[in-house]
Chains A and B, each alone.
Chain A
């Protein structure tokens, strides 16, 4: 009979499959305990998963979140923010102050060393900044050092930063930024980006952790650095393994099933919402520095300066009506399930000096949209509705949900037939070069700060000739922005920053509408994540502990 033949064939197939099963069945429970020696303070080990990508762990060669996340664990800074705040204090410095209007003097602590045994002296500090400026890598952060004229070594422990502008209040923040990690002059090259492998082999680390295993964008193993002498406490966990993912759903499943202890940056909204319902993990939220905003091009928007029917008042009315109508709660809840929260100012919540200017001035005053107010604004300016709006957004760059986000914005703007919205999306590379070339009348952008100061959310956008290229110019704003930069009195400076936010809120050069929350998902036995999810937006593994 033929059936005999066929059943034999099937048996072969089945036995192949079962062989595979047998080979692999009980692999779940094994733990690589032998690997995790751990010499540092806390002992034990924690595995962190992330979807961020590392470009280079040389501070001169990268300027992105993924690379900076690594640098924050392994390099010291002159100034840094302790857990829980965005304000900076001396880190490996004994003191750091203005000793003259253009002289910022830093005195290092005594006896600092790198993990490889090399001494960390003022000459390493000078080297670290000089090479940033010298290399000026296209992907590097050297542009942050715009106000730095030169670095002078006074003695073993003292360095003086000579500045171009007097009393630069941002400079202390710059010293905690991606441009400022202190590196070992005996390992790093002075005039070119040093390869990751050379840095790891050279052991050029003096932060909370050192890197002991490094496979780029795949796996990094950190061990606590016993010689760390900064302001952060000794790490609570001896060994941190970081596993790199590209697909957030895989990261989500691994943290849910306990294969990793911590998932940080970035899970999708759906994943986070689902994980909140699981009793095997805890979801820890903190303020996020990332914002999204709409930019108006003052030339090409409806009634803009170069339009046929140019009329500054009408253009302002259009912007006001848009500000009245945007439904931030709908975006936050429907699209982002709370992983982004409504933003009512230019400076996000959690950063010193943040206001909620837009909340009071637009909508119903409590954060919700107000169609009647929008209609009034348009009517008062004598504008016939519906007004046609062409809004451009970028595909993929800001996550896969941008399309959904803009569908919601379109819906909220078209209420009562006030606007007729045309959405267009563009692929990022084209978008990035087009938006500043007047190609888009109204467009989407996102921002992640270089350093955690309100100024970083204002100057780049609202100074005349800003990087947005949207032709916004308000002399009063310019003046106040320059004034706050050199205002030595902290309270007076915050007051200035608040005034600037009110001024821009009246002009509506941009409309910020949401702020990314930092979300860490951790196992039930992991604690400490809430301490490091602060306004500095630096996630320190040293705060984490397990068990």
Chain B
């Protein structure tokens, strides 16, 4: 995020300006998506073409109002969003806000597992790589990280499925829970969106196990991708920190390299990692779309792919706008954190 504001060294002012920047960012994305979706055809033809005559199709299209001027539809949509009304999905006739609520939780759950895994793997391995800088373990780890990046998440998912679900049969193939577990959870009350929470609420161990075992392969697929990125970040920042005067001073006092990595360089090296990691949210969302599709993990990404194929632009717009807001807000928070930590960031 490049903040274009000049002067204004006060933190409060920076935060305000940075916050106001969210609005045009989201506005631009909403507009882009709206224009693109309208250019892809109407949902009536998508669902009823091939059954009805051209005249009948046209009649229904105009009845639904899709032949009105785009600007009118655009204005309607914008005012709707401002009022918090995302419309009703065309293909399955549900309030979009409800769709967002239901599936947002699933995506959040998946990304939480993946990020946890990525931190558990990426952090120690990145430090390891920095410690062994330019020696074989470093090269090996870096190649692994690049491999994790270069492997499309759906190919990784396919391989994981082939080995652990089809071959060894350790984990289920797809989905978030077995049918039996899902029913059990629904009896326990309305879904919170987080299956782990729902499962614990049933009070039955097998439901929890079921839910967790469904989460393993998707989390690993998405987690490995993210871990590769984390490893790179940690290594880069750790190496940079090890080259600073502060660490040099410690080194000159005779502190050993291993201790330097663990004790002295960790904190300063990790702060930028946290802020940069926050910026990975866009990458994470793309990864989630592909992972969810591969594993039929019914989250926002999965639904997005479904809605796209039926040209349900009301639903697609809703999901995309939410993603845009998530990205914009995360970036905003990251910038604020960065500014708090390092005053030089405030331009």
Contact = CB atoms under 8 A, between A and B. Distances in A.
State if A and B touch, Cβ cutoff 8 Å: yes
Contacts of B267: none
A30 B93 contact: no
A138 B93 contact: no
Q: Which residue, of A31, A62, A63, A467, has the highest number of chain B Cβ atoms within 10 A?
A: A467
Nearest to B99: A216
Given A13-B121, A250-B173, A253-B165, A430 B180 contact: no
A253 B166 contact: yes
Q: Which residue, of B41, B51, B93, has the highest number of chain A Cβ atoms within 10 A?
A: B93
B180 A31 contact: yes
B93 A35 contact: no
Interface stretch (A18-26, A161-169, A487-495): A18-26
Given A138-B64, A216-B94, A245 B174 contact: yes
Interface string B26-49: 000000000000001110111111
Interface in B89-104: 90-94
Contacts of B42: 429
A429 B40 contact: yes
A418 B132 CA distance: 69
Contacts of A116: none
B124 A250 contact: no
A23 B209 contact: yes
Given A259-B172, A432-B46, A437 B54 contact: yes
Sorting the interface of chain A by its residue count into under 10, 10 to 19, 20 to 34 or 35 or more gives 35 or more
A241 B182 CA distance: 10
Contacts of B125: 9, 13
B122 to A, nearest CB: 10
Contact of A34 (B184, B191, B210, B293): B184
A13 B118 CA distance: 11
Nearest to A433: B45
Given A54-B92, A55-B91, A247-B296, A253 B171 contact: no
A221 B311 CA distance: 29
Contacts of B309: 396
Contacts of A446: 50
A27 B184 CA distance: 15
B137 interface: yes
Contact of B49 (A27, A56, A433): A433
Contacts of A436: 53-54
A215 B186 contact: yes
Q: Which residue, of B42, B49, B174, has the highest number of chain A Cβ atoms within 10 A?
A: B49
A27 B210 contact: yes
A12 interface: yes
A430 B41 CA distance: 7
Contact of A16 (B117, B128, B169, B302): B117
A94 interface: no
Given A13-B121, A13-B125, A253-B165, A35 B180 contact: yes
A338 interface: no
Interface in A1-21: 2, 5-6, 9, 12-13, 16, 20-21
Given A245-B174, A245-B296, A396-B309, A467 B53 contact: yes
B181 interface: yes
A99 interface: no
A143 B47 contact: no
A304 B206 CA distance: 67
A6 B216 contact: no
Contacts of A32: 178-181, 183-184, 207
B28 to A, nearest CB: 26
Q: Which residue, of A35, A432, A433, A437, has the highest number of chain B Cβ atoms within 10 A?
A: A432
A6 B173 CA distance: 34
Interface string A185-227: 0000000010110000000000000000101111101000000
Nearest to B46: A429
Contacts of B169: 28, 257
Contacts of A12: 120, 124
A217 B92 contact: yes
B306 interface: yes
Contacts of B171: 24
B296 A55 contact: no
Given A429-B41, A433-B57, A30 B46 contact: no
Given A6-B137, A12-B124, A34-B184, A27 B46 contact: no
Contacts of B293: 247
B50 A138 contact: no
A257 B209 CA distance: 18
A89 interface: no
Nearest to A64: B47
Given A138-B48, A221-B183, A428-B46, A433 B92 contact: no
A35 B186 CA distance: 10
A467 B51 contact: yes
Interface in B109-145: 117, 120-121, 124-125, 128, 131-132, 137
B248 interface: no
Nearest to B172: A259
Contact of B44 (A24, A138, A217): A138
A469 B54 contact: yes
Contacts of B306: 53, 246
A518 B310 CA distance: 24
A102 to B, nearest CB: 24
B201 interface: no
Given A32-B184, A138-B63, A467 B52 contact: yes
Contacts of A245: 174-175, 296
Contacts of B213: 24-25, 27
Given A35-B184, A241-B183, A139 B47 contact: yes
A209 to B, nearest CB: 15
A143 B128 contact: no
A183 to B, nearest CB: 16
Nearest to A249: B173
Contacts of A465: 53
A118 interface: no
B121 A27 contact: no
Contacts of B120: 12-13, 16
B59 to A, nearest CB: 9
B206 A30 contact: yes
Interface in A366-420: 396-397
A30 B209 contact: yes
Contacts of B181: 30, 32
Given A196-B93, A260-B179, A429 B311 contact: yes
B134 to A, nearest CB: 13
B258 interface: yes
Contact of B128 (A9, A21, A26): A9
Contact of A24 (B45, B216, B302): B216
Contacts of A24: 171, 209, 212-213, 216
Nearest to B262: A5
Contact of B93 (A55, A437, A467): A55
Interface in A435-476: 435-437, 445-446, 465-467, 469
Given A5-B128, A27-B209, A245-B296, A433 B54 contact: yes
26 contacts: A6-B128, A9-B128, A23-B209, A24-B171, A24-B213, A26-B209, A30-B181, A47-B179, A56-B92, A56-B93, A58-B93, A63-B51, A138-B61, A218-B182, A219-B183, A246-B302, A250-B296, A253-B165, A254-B174, A259-B179, A397-B50, A428-B49, A429-B42, A467-B53, A469-B53, A469-B54
Given A30-B181, A253-B166, 8 more contacts: A2-B132, A32-B207, A53-B92, A55-B47, A136-B63, A215-B191, A219-B186, A245-B296
Q: Which 7 A-B pairs have the closest CB atoms?
A: A432-B49, A32-B180, A429-B41, A30-B206, A24-B213, A27-B209, A250-B174
